[in-house]
Amino acid sequence: MKFSIGIAVLVLLLGGLAWFVFDRADAPEVDLGNAPSLQADVPTASPVVVDRSRGDAEQETRRAFVEEASSPEPKEARSAHIVGRCVNENGEPLAGCVVRLIGVRGSPKRMDAWLKDHAGVVWEDPGALTTLADGRFEIRFVPPTPYRFELDVRAPACVDVCGRWQCIEEGRRVDLGDITLVAGAGVSGRILTTKGSPVAKARLSLRWENPRTAAVPDRRGELTPVVSHEVTTATDGRFALPSNLQAGTWNLHVREHQIVEPQKIELHAAGQIECVDVVVVAEEDIETMTGVVVDDRGALVEGARIFVFPWLQSARDVTETARDGTFTIRRGPADPDGPFTVRASANGYEAGSTDDSCAWGATGLCIVMRRGVAVEVCVRSPTGEPVEEYGVRVFTKPGSSNLDLMTTGSTVRNRGKHAGGLTTVTGLVRGPHVLLVEPSGRTWQRSSWHEFEVTGSGAPRQDVELRATVSRVVRVTRAHGVCIEGTRVQLVESPSKVPVDLDTRVYDDFNFLFAMRRTNCGLRVDDVVTDERGEATLEGPGGTVLAVRVLGPGHVPICQNDVVLDRGDGPIEIVVPSGACVVGALRPVELLERLRSQSGLPSSGRLSASEAARAPGVRLVRTVGTSTERVPLTNKQVCRADGSFVFDGVPPGTWTLELVMSTYDSRVNHNAPVAVAQVKELTDGETREVDIDLTNHVRSMLTARVALDGSAFANGRVALIGRGIRDVNGKQAQTHVTVRTDDAGEFEQLVPPGQYHAVLWLQDSATNRWERLVANESVIVHPGQATTASFVVHTATVRIAVRDSRGKKVTSVHLVAERPFDVRGIWLPQPDDEGVILTRLVSGTWMLRVRRAEFMDERRYREFLVQHPGDADVRRLSMHDVREIEVTSAGPVEFRVDLPASAGF
């Protein structure tokens, strides 16, 4: 059994922390504006009733609503409404559109916060509505606070659209206006093997490929087309998508199979039916490794996740063991020969791996996973009375050697009532663990950080004492007694007992606890904002040493340690220094508007949280010792519509002002922020003005044609490597963009200004080796100016005979070919038994360098790298120049390389 994930491990690890529940991950978040925060509890929802009657005022509006449980508040005041009208491309109402609202449990953090004070949430999705002649619909429901929502709209022969909301508050009215549904193309066909046999029950997924331009129109508040679909074939291998697809390029993927052709399809005219025969490699022609996973008693383990090291390049799915504990790993076209280590991971078990290295064709592999043990937990008050209503978090201590990033361990479990305060936690692996008790209600506070060790014989009962909740007012003033309104006050616990400071990384989401690898970390206990009197009420455990951080804005942030909430009388008085003030603006304003547009932002109006993260902004940065200080402490300050910004409470001294920009295009990796000004020798109470000229920071459209050996580089992968302007600190901006050419070998891409080289990536079908071909020409892209370019690459197959200083054949060596504008270079393949390297190189002048013989041992080479930390030239120190060669497509294509004795050959 398999499930889709990204290739990188962190995608698997963190996917559940964002919109992991929604299959349509590319649907936009619909911004609902600045909603009021309601304090009323939401009652359990009762079954859905669909009203099929017609009223007088809106006789053809379709409505769905959730009947209410008894509540002191009026039903209409608590119900949320989603309304809209489905229309065609001419603006005419559409009948027969199916509208469905789906509610999904929120993130673990939101659910844990809700369940602390409430019973579980019972939710049933409202029934689907079908629009009548006027195309209108209305959905009325009481939204559970910790839930997220997705709306799907479908119409016959049209492209499905959807939108999503991270939260819909009670009483909100979401008016979607006219929802335009456009005609799409149908897709059907068969999945066949290379031997012509139909493939039954194959899962075909199609994913739309975004347009190459990064210029994104303002689409906030709209529903957008669904960009991913999945269908399962019948017994005869046939399939037909139930929905029509929008025009464009769609990438194909068949789970557990390797596609031969087509890898993608192009849909053009709406209304057409595209019939596609998808050919996959026959199962008997695919190399595999098979085995079984069992526990230490020999019992089969179902659902264990299987990983291969080194990582398989073609892996798009993670293999899981079947019900009988078996697994099959299939080789992709880019996967190496091996040898490999196969590893298994599952919640409640210690990770296991194969005893010996294995290769393709291996069968009967057996991975043994040791079962976790059970540990009893007893929770009591300071007086020894049992506390019975709680849940627990038990997870591997961050940074420990037994940490398994492939398993989850920080979610609340065993939530409920436990007689005598006792509960048993199962599935704990050997090694250090952390236990946190999460009591229900507000009487008791979460327990302090409690560490214990699990050994081969288990662990003794863990006795945890909870502290009662204590409230204490904190008052924040300046030195002359003026109260500070609107400053953020944090109450923090230090798990390691290291004093908390402004550089402490404070966690309030336990799903990120695996990242706590440094000692200077804290757990958020409370987070409040001061009122007009400069006061706020903190809640935390009594009798516990905590820290208070006062973060601003409006003053210099400070931290006060050794705070005990129930020690002393009256408010906790904190006096903060005023600091300096830095004001300025991004100019000219029209370029700021252009930057916002290029980041996919609306031209005006309030920004959602996700949009604000992409908006142009500024921040102040400096390094003090080993620490980096920032104003504001997190992220950046988004500039106002007129480009202005204000930093209050800046600590005295010298700072660097950075411009922070983002992009809506995930293919662009630009090393923002950019240092744009030095703010020197600020003094307390001073106001300093700084204006920033945006002229050199506006992106430009690059249109290019790419050719390889006289032919268009059609549907090819191209990386653009760019070097931009130098900032005020002398650092040069770096940009990396990956694009794909069209059938004519052309692409269009929005890029930051700079000088760009093009790198063509293509795979050798015989060796599965990826070739990296860098064009000799570069192009300079000026700010805000459209640029047209051609990248032409000519190559030749080069034969290099490698000999040592005595003229003998060399069959093992690390040679790299470099050019002045390509410092990364190309590592050449290993020589064959005759000491000959056959490779493909771009025409031009190359310098061949060899790694010194003493560093042929990878262990010694790694030790050498460790001895030179932070040295950008460390690789060159391990290399020795050999000779320069001139490669032309006309020849010569044969060279002899004599490795020097001074390099150990």
Report the alpha-carbon distance of residue 652 to residue 142 in Å, rounded. 51
Q: Which fold has domain 287-369?
A: Immunoglobulin-like (2.60.40)
Q: Which of 131-135, 337-341, 816-820 has the highest mean pLDDT?
A: 131-135
User: If pLDDT is split at 50, 70 and 90, which confidence band does 611 have?
Assistant: confident
Q: How far is residue 245 from each of residues 182, 242, 248, 364, 616, measured CA to CA in Å?
A: 10, 10, 9, 44, 34
List pLDDT tens digits, range 663-687. Answer: 655 555 555 688 899 999 999 999 9
Q: Which fold has domain 186-282?
A: Immunoglobulin-like (2.60.40)
User: If pLDDT is split at 50, 70 and 90, which confidence band does 213 have?
Assistant: very low
List pLDDT tens digits, range 832-860. Answer: 999 999 999 999 999 999 999 988 887 78
Report the alpha-carbon distance of residue 802 to residue 813 in Å, rounded. 9
Three-state DSSP at 171 gives: coil
Q: Is the Cβ–Cβ distance between 556 and 577 less than 8 Å?
A: yes
Report the alpha-carbon distance of residue 7 to residue 4 in Å, rounded. 9
- The pTM score is 0.72
Nearest to 405 by CA among 322, 318, 347: 347
Q: Is the Cβ–Cβ distance between 752 and 722 less than 8 Å?
A: yes
Number of Cβ within 10 Å of residue 124's Cβ equals 12
DSSP state of 468: B
Per DSSP bridges, beta strands 572-576 and 558-563 are: unpaired
SS (H, E, C) 633-702: CCCCEECCCCCEEEEEEECCEEEEEEEECCCCCCCEEECCCEEEEEEEEECCCCEEEEEEECHHHCCEEE
Report the alpha-carbon distance of residue 150 to residue 689 in Å, rounded. 46
Report the alpha-carbon distance of residue 754 to residue 34 in Å, rounded. 39
The yes-or-no answer to whether 22-32+40-180 and 796-903 have a common fold is yes
Q: Which fold has domain 699-793?
A: Immunoglobulin-like (2.60.40)
Beta-bridge mates of residue 678: 656
Indicate the range of 544-548, 824-828, 848-852, 897-901 predicted with least confidence. Answer: 824-828
User: If pLDDT is split at 50, 70 and 90, which confidence band does 718 have?
Assistant: very high
List pLDDT tens digits, range 215-225. Answer: 333 343 468 89
Residue with tokens 């003053």: 555
Angle among Cα 270, 597, 677 to the nearest 5 degrees reads 155
Give the pLDDT of residue 665. Answer: 57
Give the pLDDT of residue 23. Answer: 37
User: If pLDDT is split at 50, 70 and 90, which confidence band does 595 have?
Assistant: confident
Nearest to 345 by CA among 407, 400, 401: 407
User: If pLDDT is split at 50, 70 and 90, which confidence band does 403 have?
Assistant: low
The yes or no reply on domain 469-573 and CATH 2.60.40.1120 is yes
Q: How far is residue 438 from each of residues 1, 117, 392, 465, 587, measured CA to CA in Å?
A: 35, 11, 6, 12, 50
Long-range contact set of residues 66-75: C-beta below 8 Å, sequence gap at least 24: 66/124, 66/126, 66/140, 66/141, 66/142, 68/43, 68/142, 69/43, 69/44, 69/45, 70/43, 71/43, 73/40
- Tell me: pLDDT of 512 over 70: no
**Under CATH, which architecture does the 22-32+40-180 domain have?**
Sandwich (2.60)
Q: Which CATH superfamily is domain 580-696 in?
A: Carboxypeptidase-like, regulatory domain (2.60.40.1120)
Across the beta sheet with 521-529, what order do the strands follow? 505-507, 521-529, 488-493, 546-552, 558-563
Sign of CA dihedral 251, 255, 257, 258: positive
Q: Is the Cβ–Cβ distance between 421 and 121 less than 8 Å?
A: no
What percent of the chain clears pLDDT 90, i.e. is strictly above it?
Answer: 56
Q: Which fold has domain 373-465?
A: Immunoglobulin-like (2.60.40)
Return the structure tokens found at 654.
Answer: 């010298």
Q: Is the Cβ–Cβ distance between 392 and 425 less than 8 Å?
A: yes
Q: Where are the domains of the chain?
A: 22-32+40-180, 186-282, 287-369, 373-465, 469-573, 580-696, 699-793, 796-903
Any residues with CB less than 8 A from the CB of 150 and at least 6 apart, and which?
22, 24, 27, 101, 102, 104, 162, 163, 164, 165
Which amino acid would we find at residue 457?
S
Per DSSP bridges, beta strands 668-670 and 732-740 are: antiparallel
Buried b or exposed e, range 870-893, using 16+ CB within 10 angstroms? eeeeebeebbbebeebebeeeeee
Give the pLDDT of residue 768. Answer: 59
Exposed (0-12), middle (13-18) or buried (19+): which is 864, by Cβ within 10 Å? Answer: middle
Phi/psi class of residue 441: alpha, beta or left (left: φ > 0; alpha: ψ in -120 to 50)? left
User: If pLDDT is split at 50, 70 and 90, which confidence band does 194 have?
Assistant: very high
List pLDDT tens digits, range 273-283. Answer: 889 999 999 98
Residue of higher predicted confidence among 594 and 891: 594
Sign of CA dihedral 631, 634, 635, 636: negative
Which CATH entry fits the domain spanning 796-903: 3.40.50.720, 2.60.40.1120, 2.60.90.10, 1.10.3720.10? Answer: 2.60.40.1120
